[in-house]
Amino acid sequence: MRQYEKDQFCPPNPFGYGRNKIGLNGDVGWVEYLLFTSTNFPMNSKIFSSLVNEYVKEVRKMGCNILELMAEGLKIEPKNVLSRMLSDEKADIVFRLNHYPPCSDSNPDSDLDLNNRSMSHGRTSIGFGEHTDPQLISIARSNATSGFQIILKMELGRSPTR
């Protein structure tokens, strides 16, 4: 689909298709996304909504387990103090599908120039750009990639998938 068709089909308001400037520096993220709640689907499809609801249910369960393990590790009592916010049926659950177009630099180990955020070979590779996730927990799944690259305090770190 051409970009202008995507932009017109389901513009984000706040849910829908998007690819906007993000972060304090106004980076254009190397990402396009669909954002919706599990009750507000971009298409009227029972099969789609059923699959998404099942996926959200399982990810919510996994998120609760992770939060309870975090609370246990931090010695927070009761251990479900964090997970209750996620397990509550009235909790806001936002479902976001990100698509990152293939990086123009085929070498994933290329050095980043952290000052101008460009690849050492002159190719821009911002990814998602500078941002802070506003939610309690983000659960990211990276389909068949070597992992995420994260810049923290001007240091490039890798977060390999497991």
Q: Where are the domains of the chain?
A: 3-160
Instruction: Give residue 18's pLDDT.
Output: 76
Q: pTM value?
A: 0.61
Q: Residue 99 in contact with residue 32, Cβ under 8 Å?
A: yes
The pLDDT of residue 66 is: 93
Q: What are the CA-CA distances from residue 155 to residues 72, 107, 151 (Å)?
A: 30, 19, 5
Own/partner contacts of 105-114, CB < 8 Å, gap of 24 or more, are: 108/146, 111/156, 112/149, 112/151, 112/156, 114/151, 114/154, 114/155, 114/156
Sheet order of strands, 16-18 included = 16-18, 32-37, 94-99
Instruction: Render each residue's pLDDT in the chain as its tens digit; 162 residues.
Output: 777 777 777 777 777 777 765 556 655 666 777 887 766 555 567 787 788 888 888 988 999 999 999 999 999 999 999 999 888 877 777 788 877 765 554 444 444 444 444 444 444 455 566 667 777 777 777 676 676 677 777 777 777 666
Tell me, what's the pLDDT at 128?
A: 62
pLDDT digit string, tens, across residues 83-129? 998 888 777 777 888 777 655 544 444 444 444 444 444 444 555 66
Q: Which two tokens stand for residue 140?
A: 């990211």
